[in-house]
Every structure is written in structure tokens, then in C-alpha cells.
Structure 1
Amino acid sequence: MNAFTRGAEELLQQVLHLRDAALAAEQAQAERLAAFPEARRISARNLLHYLAVRRVDLRPLQMRLAQLGLSSLGYLEPHVLASLQAVATRLAEMVGHTPASPPASCCTFATGARLLQDNATALLNPPRDKRDVRIMVTLDSHDTDSQQLGELVAAGMDIARINCAHDDAPTWRRMAALVRAAPPTPVGPALVQIDLAGPKSRTGSVTPQGRVLHLRPQRDLRGQTLAPALLDLWCGDGPVPTRHTTAPVLCAADAQPALAAVFPDPLTLHFTDTRGRARHARLMARDGALLRFAFDRAAYIEEGLPFSLCDEQGGALCVARFAGVPEVAGVLHLRVGDPLLLTRDDLPGSPGERDEQGRWLTPPQIHCTLEAAFDAAQPGQSVWLDDGRIGAIIESRSAQTLQLRVTYAAPQGSKLRAEKGINFPDTSFDVPALTAKDLDDLSAMASQVDLVALSFLRGPQDVQALREHLARNGREDVGIVLKIENQQAFAQLPAILLEALAHPKVGVMVARGDLAVEMGFERLSEVQQEIIWLCEAAHLPVIWATQILDTLARSGLPSRPEVTDAAMSTQAECAMLNKGPYIADAVRFLCGVLERMEGHYAKRMALRRPLSIAQPGLLEPPATAAPASPKNSEPGP
């Protein structure tokens, strides 16, 4: 036997060993597999095969196979045994052996691709002619109307997303009805997805800074006024009329309503602003008792500030006070080294107080909405706030508080406001994904939706609970989207996927916002890739989400990095865009990117390091021990 034959024989034994390991993993779960519907059993087997194969480092084998001109196993996810069998057959022929017959449970190349396509179609509707990746858009409850929805569908939206973390059931029903009434897409009506809020950990309210309005005209680089600042002043009786306007609207308190109709032109508004500077504005337009004034200079207006309306000669026609000035949201200014107190009690946060030497007399404090954090979090564990913009370490804890020390912030300090996310990546929680609010929201919206997204799940038990509640609402047919956005869900992903395969329509969302904070930004790329690989092995569609073309949707112009990021969404079956003033432009842009890139990519081939997530014992919920910090743990596969 020459060196070539010996090398081929050695490779054959390695491939056959992988095949035997895959079959052994299937046999170990034989009783569990028997409970799956026949249509799902093939996918469950293939997932088990994949997990078994990815427990080892395949890279040396891949390199040697490629040198022989054989498949390097760089794309085996949807058909693991078929890929191994094809390579084993070629190697057997090289060494003069009779190729072994493929196992009876083998998922063929054609079957694996077809199952993934069929499952994506069942959950997300058929793909459009020029692109396979569907586009999901988060609706804005304040700006969404029938005209905008028609424009979004025409631009390329396939699925409308309603976030139940905001607004209420009547608002969601209105948006769902608008989607139903919108013109259909080329492959059928646009689908409606609701995202249940889940046990999201957020900051509570912060004591407002006051009621002050800052009016600023638009100026050129030489300080010349390009456009005046506008202010609408309601001088009538009763509440301010509801109108769509970009100008702030204030009320004239203590004014005589009858006078507004007879105010002469021209009319000017005079007052001294909060800085003690005299300001005046000219009447620009009027609609009954609603007067619009234009300012050529900046002004600060506080609640209760007196003003007068004057005629052409400067005579005062009316003296009143400004009312209805909006509150300026409270904010905590935090720097590295500052203390921060998280409180269980739902009290308004405060910025704290220092003495004359700058030492803290009382620390900044803010409410944390996740009660479980005060029972589970421990000193030494990390906390990240506002999507990772602020980092801290827990120094001490009590039943009602967590004392933090800020370890990461912007050089000039970072601002922490209300309703910002709080992540505890080092802390293991035993918290159901479905809250009491979620159950009420699900009951209110069950009949209105096509897909339900489960937020902040942590294990297979959460998937089972959602299926049970859908059954109680008579919606076993609704599609389920599992949002992977914390360490526990990622660690239990194999078990979660096996549980999910019991449902007829299911997909996975890579929620990259919270996931990046939980896993560490440096690991996000590999983590999202691992999720895609495992979902493809289970023949389940993936939704690529969070900040895709976010700059374009908000400002009208894309950044170069986000265009590349958008192109990477060709690895998924759906890409999700968030709301913004230019969202229709972002949808059209994404359509163009996808139509071009899908001709170049179709699930990318890759080298196969061992997957830590594929190790034995991960098909069942792990012990309650807290996972290692993503900042200090070993790099993932």
C-alpha cells in the first residue's frame, strides 16, 4: 500500500468515525425522536447528527480532503449524513473498497434543502421572484397609516412587526388591521408578527429636569438664519386642537379667548426668556385661535413664563403665561468610577448629590424592572446598561438594592435615561419568558396575527409554555419565532431547537442587540454564525435582526459598514428593519442589495472548529450555576 492509499484509508476511517458518532447520537435519543411528527423527525435526526459531528475539530480533515479534490465538508448543515456518506464513498473507491450503503435515516442533499425551503415558506410566505430573503419591518405606532403601509409593501416589505413592549392592544389591533387592508405582496398578503415584551430588564423613570422648551432657528456656517424656529400658540378655550404639525404647541394661560379672533396683523410675541434675554417673534400664520410665530433668535421658554402679544406700535393687547411646556426627561450623567444604585422599588431615579469636594453624598440611583435581578445577581458580576453603552460591576447587594461601580462609559461620561435596557450577562435567571402581561397581550392579539415572537426565552420549557398558551387561544396554527438574545438561550439552543421542532411553523430570530451585550461584542459575529448553522441543521428559517441599515432608516443615508452587514443577511431567510423616517427607502435599498448578493451567496462554506454548544449534555437544561462572564471566558468556536 503506497503513501497515497494509506492517506486515503486514514481519511476514510476518520469520516466513518464521524458517521458512527452521528448515528450513535441519534440512537441515544431514539425514544425522544419517536414522539416527533414524521415530517419533523428527519430534521431532528439531522440536528443530532450535526451536533455530534461538530464536537470535534474538523479543520485538519477538511484541509486533507480538499487536497484530494474532495468535498471539504464546508457545507454539511442541512444534510450531515449525506455529506459524510458522499465523501466516504469517494474515499472507498480510491482505496479499492466497496462503498457502504447509506444509513436508512440519512437526510439526502435534496431533502435537506427542500425541508428548509418548505419550513421558511410555511412560516414567512413564499419568496419573491428576485430574492429569497424576506423583509420584515417594525411598524411605528405613531406614524403608521394606510398610505405608509401601502408604500412599504410596494417597496418590498413582506412581514409587519408590532412590538408589544410599547403602546396597547387597541393600538396594535389598529396597526394589524392596516396591514390586512394594505395591497398584497406579489406572493400574497403581508404577514403580521407581534413580539411579546417578555421579562425585559429596563431602567425605570427618572425625575424630570423641568419644563423648558429650547427654540433654535436653523443657521448657515456664517450664522445667517436659513429657517426660523416655529412655535404654535393656542389662545382659544378648551383643549389644544389635534393637528399634525412639526412645531411645538403651547397654550396661553390666563388669556381671554375671545381676543384671539380679533388680534390685528401684524402681531408680535414678546417675553424675556429663562436666560434674561429679551425675545420677540412675528406672527407667521393663524388658524382661528391657533397662532404660529417665527423666531429668528434662539429662546428658552419655561412653564409659567409671562409673555405679551403686541400690536404694530408695541402696545400690549394681551398678557398671559406659557403653559403646556413639555417636560425635559431626566438623565443620569455617569463616568468611569462613579457609583450607581439599582433599586427594586419603583421610584423615580435621581442623579445623586456631591459635596463641595466632589465626593458623593448620595449616589445616582434608578429602578431596575427585573425583580429577579435582586435575588439572583451577585457581587463581582457585570451589568451592562443602554445596549452596552455603560458597563458596571456589582460591588454589593441587599434585598432591595444592587450597588454598582461604573467601569465603562464614554470619555466625557455617558447619559442614562428611562426605559433603557439592563443586561446581566454573568447572572443565571430562572424566570419564565411569558409574563402576566404577555399572556394578556397574547389573548388580546391571538386572532389578529400570523406569527408570535417569544422574547427573552432561556430554555425549552419556555417554548413549551408558549405552545400551550397558543393552544388555549385556539391558535396552534400560528407561527412561532424564538428570539435568541441572552447567554442562557444560546447555551441551550440545541435543546430549544429540538423542542421547537414539535411545532409545525417555527423560526429563530438572531436578536443581535441584546445578544451582543450578553455575549460580548467581540463574539457577536461567531455567535450569530453558530445560531445560523444550528438552525440550518434543524431546517428552520432564521430572521437576521437589529440595526440593519439603521442609519439609512433614520437619516436617509446609509453607512458603508451597514451596507456590508445588510449583504450578510443573505445567509438568513428573513432580514428585519427597524422603524425610521426613511424606512421605505431602506426597504427599497435592502431589496436591491439582496437581489444582487443572492447571486453570489447561498449559505457560505466555512471551516469547522469544534462547537462548544454541540458538546454532550446540552440537549437538556443545564444546572443553575451562573455562566462564565463573556468578557473573561475562552473564545467560542
Structure 2
Amino acid sequence: MKVNPNKINKLIVQIESLIQTLIHEEQRFKDPFKSAHVYYLESARNLVHYNSLRKVDLRSLQKKLQNLGLSRLAKAEGHIMSSLIKTRFVLYKLLDEQPPNTIKPGLSIKNGKRLLNKHSKELLGFRSKGRRVRIMVTQPTQAAYDYDMVHKMVDLGMNCARINCAHDGPEVWQKIINNIKKASKAHGKTIKITMDLAGPKIRTGHITPGPKIKKFSPKRDGSGKITNPAIIELIPIIMENSEYNSLPISEEWLNKLEKDDVLFLKDSRGKHRELKVIEASKNKATVHCYETLYIETGTLICCNRSGMLDTPVGELPSIEQHILLKTNDSLIITKENVLGNPAVYDDEGKLIENAHISCQTPEVFNRIKEGDIILFDDGKIEGRIDTILDDRMEIQITRAKDTGSKLKAEKGMNFPTTNLGISGLTEKDKIDLEFVAKNADVVNFSFVNSKEDVEELLVELEKWNATNSLSIILKIETRFAFDNLVEILLTAMKVKQIGVMIARGDLAVETGWENIGRIQEEILALCSAAHIPVVWATQVLENFAKKGLPSRSEITDAVYSLQAECIMLNKGPYMGDVLQLLTKILSNMEHYHEKNEVMLPKMEKA
């Protein structure tokens, strides 16, 4: 192959300059290297090398190397110094010269991969036969009481179980763990138990409850003819999991009902309505109605049979209220925990009082500035802070649906451009951490933003003698966590086993949907450089898990997740089907991908 010596020499100069930059950068990080666990000493050095390399625009150099048939360094994040030295060696050989040999090459390609595989196994457990990527499954409350469900998850390929401390409590968590361990033993497997600390989720406050009323309507066709009556289930009391069409009635009165009884009532609008009992059994009766009716707490119901006294409808839940917001509307966020209300208008449509709602984390008022962006409900509504007063902030809505977007209670609030300075550990987290340290293999650290957050967690782990017995997965879900990721990883490397979870939902809201593709690529690359396993999280096959049918984009997303070491699945009634499909996808596609490297097996027909 004919080469131009001048061009080769220029490439050598560029490579030499990069190598010297990496060596110089090492000197700046002596302290983190000294405190790094022996497991991560080489990984910490390689992370610093990669981070330094990425401060330079390498695209021109990459194209020139590619034209010579050499490595473009595009997949070299796990072994940067070694790859640079090897590239330099080949360039010298093209000139028929001997390269200098004065630099320690660092991790080889093979050893870089071995380190990542070793860390993945120790953090996430053994991989399943036929696939490299592990599967982590979020456990529903039902897993505490349904052993067969947990047994099936293990049988279908679950490698790690995730328990979210934002829900339930120690009693339920312990029952879930007991079932996981029982199922693990039955299958001869070790299932890693990971537990999420809830973290400081910022949410909207409560809204003034609506009336305690329910509406029932028969189904009609396009011409308005009734095709099915309204079906109402009469039961003694409304529970949290009761169906919407349930109506509470005195148990004694309910058990006197018989099939074909006719019930009469006057609904909340004064309309007379008739209900027919279709089925009656102990503590339950099914009735039909062929007209729309509104029933409220205390509505009197009478029966056509003699001897049956009128009975009132029992306590109904309040209708969940919301605040309807349109672009350019004003919204008041109060510091004090007061019930929110929609905007009030007079008869002529003139605004009398702005809508208002509280913030459940009043500490945010200490950091916000006028002009800051605020997002509600996973970014569905966007606003700008116009005015800040002692007890409230005034927001102008800058993005909402044309018909208006509904803001409800307990919805997330994000301040993507504001460093709120709120610790990743709440008081609840510190209490929960005692249980986690004693019962889990891994703690998933939510809303980490800085190395100081990691240091605070390490202090708490020390209290429970769990610094090196409890592994840590850092959930990257904010703009500041991404910006500070190198510092965060170097600080976390003080302990034996760490991982990173890309919480793509919150991260997309914080950084912008247009940026999430680039950012998740960067996180994957930085973690590969640090030989730290990555958990691919948020909405993986979620439509399938909830509705039983995957979308095409979900399948593509699952394939893309092969770049990670683990995939996290959320809850859903079709979890068994999801595990089966995901195992097939991962097993089939791993012939074509080894992490982020494309492999080329013999092409097969469909």
C-alpha cells in the first residue's frame, strides 16, 4: 500500500499529542486514584483518559485513520491508552520505522472487556444461558402474597429483582424478598435483590376535592340508540381497588335484594331513575339502568317490594379534581401547603383569581430564579417563572395542549435549568437504608446529582457496616447528574461494586427529548470507559407489559438496549409474556451485537 509519509507523520504527531494529554490529565487525578478501590484502579485511570480524549473533536482524525483501514477509536472507550499506542505503532510501521516504547500501554482490549464482565457478574449476578444482558424486574405488591408469580419470573429468566421503597413498607418488602429467595432456591439460581431509595421527588400538592358523586351511562350507538345498559355493582363498602361502577349500600339492605327487584331513586339533578336487579348474591347485587344518572353520597334508594325501607348510598370517593392550563395562562405555586384550585372567572369570562397549587418541597424556593424553566407531569406542561415572592412564585405557561392540559395533584415538578441543591438522600431514605443494608444486595440511589451526594450515601452505609457488602447503582436522572458523571463515578469507585442506571424518563424531561438519544450514548460510553455495568431503564416494553401487545418502537428500543449490561422492566399483568419475548430478542440479537460492536454472522433468511 502506497502511503504519503507527510500525512502519516502528521497523524503520528496528533496521536502523540493525545497520548501526552492523557498522561498529563492523570497527574490531576492522583487523589481520586489513591482512594479508588483496588477493583477500580485501572478503570478510574481509563475513565480519566477517555474523558480527556472526548474534550477534543476527533472526527477529522477518525476519518483519516479510517481511510488507512485503521481503528477509528470509536469503540475504544474501555482501553483508550492501549488503542492509541497500538494505532501509533501501526502508523510508524507504515513508514517502516520503529516507534518509541516509553509509555505503559494500560489495559488491553481483552482485559478491558474482562473487567466489565467481572463487574457485571458481581453486581448483577450470573447471566442467563444464551444471553449476556441481564433482566431486572420490578416487583409489584402482589409479589409479597403470590409466590407462583415470583417463581414464574425466575423460571422465565429474571436475574435481578427490584423493590421500590417509594411504595409499601418493610413488612411487604420482607415478604417479597422471602418469595424471591424461595424461588431462587427452587431453581438453583441466585437472584440479586436491588432496592430503590425513593429520593427527593418534587411533586404538586393536593387540590380541593370534588363532589362525592358518580355518573353512570348506558352505551349507545352512533344514532343514539342504547346498545347496553349502565351496569352498577352494589357492594357494602368502596375499597381502594373497587371498580368504578361499584356503589356502596348497607350490607343488611343489600342482602335482602332478590333478582328482578326494581329500585327507584331521584338522582343529584332531581331526575327520577329506575334500576333493575339482574343478579343478587351475598354482599353483592348487579343492577341495570337504561338512562344516565348521577348518584351522590346519601342518595336515597327504595325498592318496589314491601317491607324494604329506603336506604342511603354510602360514602363515595371524591371526584379527582384538576387544573386546566393553556399556553399563556398564569399559575401560582404556593410555598405553604394549601389546597389548590382552578382559576375563577366571572359570568363574562373575566379572570377573578389565578389557578394555584402548592409544591410539596418548599426548599426549592431557596434556589429558583426568575426566568427559570419549570416542567410538570413528565414535561407535559412547561412554564417559566415570572415572579418570585416570599410565599409563592408566579408561572406563565409556555407550552400545553391547544385544548388545555390537566395538572393534577401528586404530579412531578422538574426544574431542569436550576441547581436546587437538594440532597439525594431524604430522611425517609436514611430510615429505609437500614432495612436495605440488612436485606438487599444492591441499593439503587435515586436523584444523585453530585459527588457530595455519593459521599453522603457512603457515610450512611458506614453506619450500617455496609460500605463494601452492599453494592450501589447510581440512578442518573437529572441534567446535573449527567454533567457531573465523571466526578460521581470516581467518588463511587471507593467501594467494591457500583453500577449506573439510565433513568431515561426523568432524564429526558430534564435534558430535553431532543437530547436524550445523545445523552444516553454518552452515559453508555463513559460507563464503558469505567468498566461499570449499565442498567437500561424506563418504559422498556411497557405497553406490552400493561396491555399485552408490543409496539414496533418498543421492539427497536429493546434491541438498542443490547449496549447495556442489564434491562429493567416495570410492573404489568403481562410480565411473563414480556420476559419470554425479551429473552428471545436478546438471545437472537446477541449474534449480531457484542455490546456496541456490530458482529457479522452468516446472513440468514427470515
TM-score, with normalisation over the residues of structure 1? 0.88
Moved more, 542-551 or 281-290: 281-290
Match of 1:580 in 2: 572
Deviations along 1:237-273, whole A, 9 cap, x unmatched?
Answer: xxx49898657543325x8x2x554444432333233
Match of 2:603 in 1: none
Match of 1:450 in 2: 441
- Give the aligned residue type for 1:557: L
Moved more, 463-472 or 376-385: 463-472
Q: Is the 8 A contact 1:79 1:107 kept in 2?
A: yes
Q: 1:445 to 1:217 in 2, by over 3 A?
A: farther
- Give the aligned residue type for 1:82: S
Q: Is the 8 A contact 2:232 2:246 kept in 1?
A: no
1:385 corresponds to 2:376 = yes
- Aligned-partner Cα distance in 1 for 2:548–2:291: 28
User: 279, 286, 297: which one pairs with 1:292?
Assistant: 286
- Aligned-partner Cα distance in 2 for 1:438–1:593: 36
Match of 1:181 in 2: 182
- Aligned-partner Cα distance in 1 for 2:139–2:340: 30
Q: Is the 8 A contact 2:258 2:279 kept in 1?
A: no
Structure 1 position 13, deviation (Å):
1.7
Q: 1:18 to 1:329 in 2, by over 3 A?
A: same
- Aligned-partner Cα distance in 2 for 1:84–1:536: 17
- Aligned-partner Cα distance in 2 for 1:5–1:186: 63
- Aligned-partner Cα distance in 1 for 2:222–2:123: 53
- Aligned-partner Cα distance in 2 for 1:219–1:229: 13
- Aligned-partner Cα distance in 2 for 1:93–1:304: 92
Q: 1:286 to 1:192 in 2, by over 3 A?
A: farther
Secondary structure class of the residue paired with 1:445: helix
Structure 1 position 396, deviation (Å):
0.4
Match of 1:271 in 2: 265
- Aligned-partner Cα distance in 1 for 2:585–2:574: 17
Q: Is the 8 A contact 2:260 2:277 kept in 1?
A: yes
Deviations along 1:466-488, whole A, 9 cap, x unmatched?
Answer: 12212212322111111111111
Secondary structure class of the residue paired with 2:593: coil
Deviations along 1:386-427, whole A, 9 cap, x unmatched?
Answer: 000000000101222111010100111000111111000111
Q: Is the 8 A contact 1:310 1:316 kept in 2?
A: no
Structure 1 position 588, deviation (Å):
2.3
User: 377, 395, 399: which one pairs with 1:404?
Assistant: 395
Secondary structure class of the residue paired with 2:452: helix
Q: 1:546 to 1:58 in 2, by over 3 A?
A: same
- Aligned-partner Cα distance in 2 for 1:19–1:186: 50
Q: 1:141 to 1:280 in 2, by over 3 A?
A: farther
User: 296, 312, 315: which one pairs with 1:302?
Assistant: 296
1:471 corresponds to 2:462 = yes
Structure 1 position 92, deviation (Å):
0.9
Structure 1 position 285, deviation (Å):
3.9
User: 230, 233, 244: which one pairs with 1:231?
Assistant: 233
Q: Is the 8 A contact 1:336 1:407 kept in 2?
A: yes
Moved more, 206-215 or 50-59: 206-215
Match of 1:395 in 2: 386
Structure 1 position 220, deviation (Å):
6.9
Deviations along 1:276-309, whole A, 9 cap, x unmatched?
Answer: 4444443344443433334555543211111123
CA-atom RMSD in angstroms: 2.5
Moved more, 534-543 or 444-453: 444-453
Deviations along 1:53-101, whole A, 9 cap, x unmatched?
Answer: 1111111111111111111111111111111111111111001221333
Match of 1:613 in 2: none
- Contiguous gaps of at least 5 residues in structure 1: 235-239, 607-637
- Give the aligned residue type for 2:585: V
Q: Is the 8 A contact 2:238 2:247 kept in 1?
A: no
- Give the aligned residue type for 1:153: V
Match of 1:163 in 2: 164
Q: Is the 8 A contact 1:510 1:543 kept in 2?
A: yes
User: 548, 551, 555: which one pairs with 1:559?
Assistant: 551
- Equivalences for 1:222-371 in 2 at 5 Å? 225=227, 229-234=231-236, 240=237, 246=243, 248-253=245-250, 257=252, 260-295=254-289, 298-311=292-305, 317-371=308-362
Q: Is the 8 A contact 1:220 1:226 kept in 2?
A: no
Secondary structure class of the residue paired with 1:395: strand
Q: 1:328 to 1:262 in 2, by over 3 A?
A: closer
Structure 1 position 187, deviation (Å):
7.2
- Aligned-partner Cα distance in 2 for 1:319–1:229: 21
Match of 1:616 in 2: none
- Count residues with an aligned counterpart: 594
Q: Is the 8 A contact 2:218 2:226 kept in 1?
A: no
- Aligned-partner Cα distance in 1 for 2:331–2:32: 48
- Aligned-partner Cα distance in 2 for 1:364–1:247: 28
- Aligned-partner Cα distance in 2 for 1:342–1:247: 32
Secondary structure class of the residue paired with 2:4: helix
Q: 1:481 to 1:245 in 2, by over 3 A?
A: same
- Aligned-partner Cα distance in 2 for 1:285–1:143: 33
Secondary structure class of the residue paired with 1:78: coil
- Aligned-partner Cα distance in 2 for 1:298–1:154: 49
Q: Is the 8 A contact 1:225 1:296 kept in 2?
A: no
- Aligned-partner Cα distance in 2 for 1:448–1:224: 57
- Give the aligned residue type for 2:520: Q
1:76 corresponds to 2:76 = yes
Structure 1 position 429, deviation (Å):
1.9
Structure 1 position 35, deviation (Å):
2.9
Match of 1:45 in 2: 45
Match of 1:589 in 2: 581
Q: Is the 8 A contact 2:37 2:495 kept in 1?
A: no
Moved more, 21-30 or 537-546: 21-30
- Aligned-partner Cα distance in 2 for 1:40–1:72: 26
- Contiguous gaps of at least 5 residues in structure 2: 599-606
Q: 1:325 to 1:355 in 2, by over 3 A?
A: same
Q: Is the 8 A contact 1:85 1:102 kept in 2?
A: no
1:489 corresponds to 2:481 = yes
- Aligned-partner Cα distance in 2 for 1:600–1:178: 36
Match of 2:57 in 1: 57
- Equivalences for 1:422-433 in 2 at 5 Å? 422-433=413-424
- Equivalences for 1:542-553 in 2 at 5 Å? 542-553=534-545
Secondary structure class of the residue paired with 1:488: helix
TM-score, with normalisation over the residues of structure 2? 0.92
- Aligned-partner Cα distance in 2 for 1:242–1:326: 10
Q: 1:441 to 1:303 in 2, by over 3 A?
A: same
Q: 1:358 to 1:228 in 2, by over 3 A?
A: closer
Match of 2:211 in 1: 210
Q: Is the 8 A contact 1:451 1:479 kept in 2?
A: yes
- Give the aligned residue type for 2:179: L
Moved more, 280-289 or 320-329: 280-289
- Aligned-partner Cα distance in 1 for 2:101–2:33: 23
Q: 1:184 to 1:207 in 2, by over 3 A?
A: farther
Q: 1:467 to 1:218 in 2, by over 3 A?
A: farther
Q: Is the 8 A contact 1:347 1:367 kept in 2?
A: yes
Deviations along 1:593-622, whole A, 9 cap, x unmatched?
Answer: 22222222223369xxxxxxxxxxxxxxxx
